[in-house]
Structure 1
Amino acid sequence: MPGVKFHLFPLRFGTRIERALWVGFAADRMERQYRHATFALHQHHYHGVVEIGGERFALRPGDVTLSPPHVGSSYELRDASHHLCIHFFVEAAAGGDTEVAPGFFFPLHVPASAGGAALGDSMQAIHDITRHPARTEAERALMEAAATARLEALLLAGGLRFADLASECPSAPAANRSPGSGGLQAASGAARRRTSDAALEAARERLERDYAKAIPIAELVRGSGLSAHYFAARFHQRFGVTAAGYLLRVRMEMARHLLLTTDLPVKEVAYECGIADPQYFNKQFRRTTGLSPSEFRLRGTGSVPPLP
């Protein structure tokens, strides 16, 4: 099925993990073909090519792919290597307005640089949970519930993360809305936006990681490889705020955390959040919360009545 790039999952669903394991490829078996009755998430640790439902994707270490059930997939690899895979079933759950929200789209291929690495971390966590030794039936049930919850969170977070790309997909045909089956959808224009989305995610991650440092927005733009106008427009479209506004949001969130959980003086809280000017910090904090930092701390500790 040429042009396939997404799978449509029901918005309300449950999963059952069949297995989570590392699979190795021997040097004398570089080409393999598969057809599963389950969904299969893979994080690849090699260079090569995978074909899923007729769509070919170049693979690099850290990339993640989704193979829907009963859809053929094949691999062409350069060398012996391995990948992490999670096989699972999906069942639609009752409830929800399927006309308003028929489901969410999950990409068939996520490059490492565009979120594959983060997805792989969650997949490894699921694998580790399933390998946890269960001494009793109660522990086994808890282990299965934890792994299932992590998988469902992974799928939903992925659907949310790539919602702007999926919005370019045509609506799923009614025939593809059967419970649990989803549908494969062509995403015209998704490929041309993938590079810019990866750059925007990298910029966002830097803002969240290095908020305590001076981060010139012009430096973020240069690092993205995008024009200043396109960067600003796409960042606002993707995150609902400018890059400078996003940085301030992260800093104010950390400031609230430090005010409620430490006894640091307000001046030091400002410094820890990357704002060297206490007056500017106080002004921005009051603008975002309606309170001065000191008043916010008092309310948080119960020394004054809470906000209405």
Structure 2
Amino acid sequence: MRWTAARWNLPLLAPPSILQMSGHALHGTTGVERYRIRFWCLNLYEGTGQLAIAGQVFPIRPGYASLTVPDRDMEYRYEGRAHLVWTHFHPAAGAGTVPIPVMQDLGRDFDRIRAEIVDATGVLHARPERAAAKLWDVLWRLVERSAPEHPAVSHAALRSALAQIDRRLTEAISIAALAEELEISQTHLNRLFREAVGTTVSGYIRRRRVARAHHLLIHSTLPIRVVGVQSGFPDPHHFNKAIRRELGRSPKRVREQARTFDSSPCPD
């Protein structure tokens, strides 16, 4: 397998829990660095070298980002000093998964994504929920910017389905009717979604609605009932149940935690 095709399945339908973050770390001063960790790790690189994970080698270049998983033997070999921005985190337990590259070239997006992680580092101890929201957004961007490389995403029916779902997110969406409009079977449509975004059509719709609701709960002052309606959950009971299932707490609690200081510091 070419290194550009390597993917992990990352649970990402709910915000992750951050353990530690660093807006600036120097590596490459102690020779080969070997690790076996018990958490996920996002690295943004300003340096050159290579990363070996269980025998597979990935190049490290300025502007690259890597994501590593728990309980894997890893070996970093830097060519001189390398500056890193990194985040250690646990994905939300029980959240649905999406494919995300092990290593990717961020190109022109690197500076913007790096700035987001640095900003999240600055608010981690005072506002951990806000930092988690920033990391969640960055991880989704890493997923979405790599999606066009997947063959399924080039399928015209899938592109049309994604666009229609975004336009009609607040409406009742019939998957059978959507497949009929696209002139493909519902089974084929679900297969395209599984290949491209790691979940079924209904799972993707739920994910998009929960993500919109989470954003509005944190970043707006709209009443919770209105947030539900604008996210595609017109029934308050259904909205409360969906948010509890995906985020592990009620909509009210999601909003409260985003606006209050958390007394539990990130472990050293």
**Which structure has the larger Rg over C-alpha atoms?**
1
TM-score, normalised by the number of residues in structure 2: 0.50
TM-score, normalised by the number of residues in structure 1: 0.44
